[in-house]
Amino acid sequence: MQAVRIAGAGSTAFGASPERTGRDLFGEAARIAIDDSGVPRAAIDRLCYGNFVGTVTERQGHQAPLMAKAAGVTAPATRYESACASGGVALKSAVEAVRSGAADVVLVGGMERMHNVTTERATEGLAMAADHLYESRAGVTFPGAYALMARAYFEEFGGTRADLAAVAVKNHRNALGNDKAQFQTEISTSDVLEAPTVADPLGLYDACPITDGASACVLVSEAYAEENNLDAPIAVTGAGQGTDSLALQQRDSLTRTPATTTAATAAYDEAEIAPSDIDLLEVHDCFTIAEVLALEGLGVYDRGAAIDAARSGETTRDGDLPVNLSGGLKAKGHPVGATGVSQVVELTKLLRGDHVNSAAVPDASLAVAHNAGGTVASATVHVLEVRS
């Protein structure tokens, strides 16, 4: 089985880009990643591309050939859709293609553009990641769904809105200086607690924003990297994917995320690591409670123990286990189809030492990316390691 190296990584700036097309955004991210890799476009064997709501926001299906053209790639291209985990699923497929020997070079990326439509239209599109029959048709949107999960967590384990506010404050602070982040502004606990309620107990600052943007990576086999003298010190050593019931009422618990645990177990087993080996993480914090649930689902905290991790300083940039040094979805932004790849772009730079926050983790050699879809009905986990 071929080892997988990340030869190049790149993202557009995240934020509001209603004047730009999706193909324009992805073309930029792909160009940055390809230039970073030193790999000629002609060597790319396939494109794995993640996108969720492009058929709604851009009225454009069959996007993969468009994105291949935008990237200047003639290789076979496929679009992957798994809600907010679309990018992570595309990445897992790309990793498998290189591992199996089916490809030596894969361009993997994702894109989402939502600011060109109204907030109502974007929300309608995003709600399609829930169960239409039992949830979205009844008026449930994701702020409400995650509020239910937060309330269930508080009832089972305790915790306060201030605990969740610490997650938002931490991630906004981490985004300061990240020139790709949507929000590069610091917020306070008071800002979070005094913000308008979105769905009790979650307020405006507990939620990630609507985001336009694209990200891409160039994956290569270890043999290709050696033969072409590529500088590719970051390896993907584990990849996992998990699935859970789509609708919340069909689950045994609102405070567990089995899809995350399934994905993490598979990724850790492949990489031959334990949760205690992880130096830093990028997790799917679409809402502040989602970061808490992710850390417990990933096994780095016991159930009920992650609620005060940010407030106690354990997951801050100078804590024992830095989480979302990019700013996370909360502050970096959440261009849905790109998010799973953007997490790996950020971790690659952090581990290589060329990220604005690399100085916070100078000795880090192992990182984990966690990408989730919907209320974690889908999840992917990837393990990245520094290899000579």
84 an active-site residue?
Answer: yes
Torsion (CA) 275, 281, 282, 283 in degrees, nearest 10: 40
Instruction: Tell me how many degrees the CA angle 237-274-336 measures, rounded to the nearest 5.
Output: 60
Q: Which of 84, 208, 217, 286 is catalytic?
A: 84
Q: Any alpha helices (H) in the chain, and if so which ranges? A: 22-37, 54-57, 63-71, 86-100, 119-126, 142-157, 161-175, 189-194, 222-227, 258-271, 288-297, 328-331, 339-352
Rounded CA gap, 68 and 339, in Å? 19
HSE-up of residue 51 (Cα within 13 Å, Cβ side): 32
Q: Could you say which of 115, 172, 284, 334 is catalytic?
A: 334
Q: Is 334 a catalytic residue?
A: yes
Residue in this structure with the two tokens 């076979």, named with its chain if needed: 76
| Dihedral-angle region of residue 374 (phi above 0 means left; psi in -120 to 50 means alpha; beta otherwise) | left
Distance CA 13, CA 220 (A): 25
Distance CA 223, CA 220 (A): 8
User: What secondary structure letter does DSSP report for 82?
Assistant: B
Q: How far apart are the first and last CA of the chain?
A: 18
Spatial CB neighbours of 253, under 8 Å, sequence gap ≥ 6: 152
What does the alpha-carbon distance between residue 357 and residue 348 come to, in Å, rounded to a whole number? 12
List active site positions.
84, 334
